[in-house]
Amino acid sequence: MSEHTPKDYSKLVDVLQDMKDEEFVGLKNLLNNAIEQIKEAQKMLRIMMSSIVFHHFSWKTHFGTGDASSTGIVIGGVWMMKGTLLGAVYDLSNFKCEPTLMVTPHFQQKGLYSEVDCMVSIRLGKAIQTAVRLIRNSNVNREAYS
């Protein structure tokens, strides 16, 4: 196995190595705060999405790069992205319908067109309850009264 020289490391590693201890602690705190905010946003998204009911969901995408081989490769990625996003939404909310996904490749044309058509509902009581839960679980609310 070969030894790694400092030239092999990325600029980020070089910057981290040159940081003073107090700067490193500041960066660590900044990253921890960012992670906490992402977790808080995820929790709020779960609360909001749990009260939404989907009655109709259709997502159609037309895509082409102008080259058949690259279009085929990208279409696979589009299917993966759409399936992952729909799976996350399906997991977080309530579906009363069978979602429709469609991807149409255009092998000899360049372009992207995507259309999402959905019908959702939320009961007024659920909307009020969700708003109260969001306010109660909000970090901003806790910090304001601390």
Share of the chain above pLDDT 90, in %: 40
Task: Say yes or no to pLDDT of 139 above 80.
Answer: no
User: What is the average pLDDT score of the chain?
Assistant: 82
Give the pLDDT confidence of 99-130 residue by residue, as tens digits: 999 999 999 999 999 999 999 998 888 888 87
Give the pLDDT confidence of 45-73 residue by residue, as tens digits: 888 888 889 999 999 999 999 999 999 99
What spatial distance separates the first Cα and last Cα of the chain, rounded to whole Å? 55
Interatomic CA distance for residues 78 and 71, integer angstroms:
10
At residue 144, the 3 state secondary structure works out as helix
Between 75 and 24, the more confident residue is 75
> Percentage helix, strand, coil, to 5, in the chain?
60, 25, 20
Q: What per-residue confidence (pLDDT) applies to 2?
A: 46
Q: What per-residue confidence (pLDDT) applies to 56?
A: 96
Phi and psi based region of residue 66 (left: phi greater than 0; alpha: psi -120 to 50; beta: remaining): left
In angstroms, how far is CA 131 from the centroid of its own chain?
22
Task: Say yes or no to pLDDT of 138 above 60.
Answer: yes
Q: pTM, whole model, 2 decimals?
A: 0.63
CB 92, CB 49: distance < 8 Å: yes
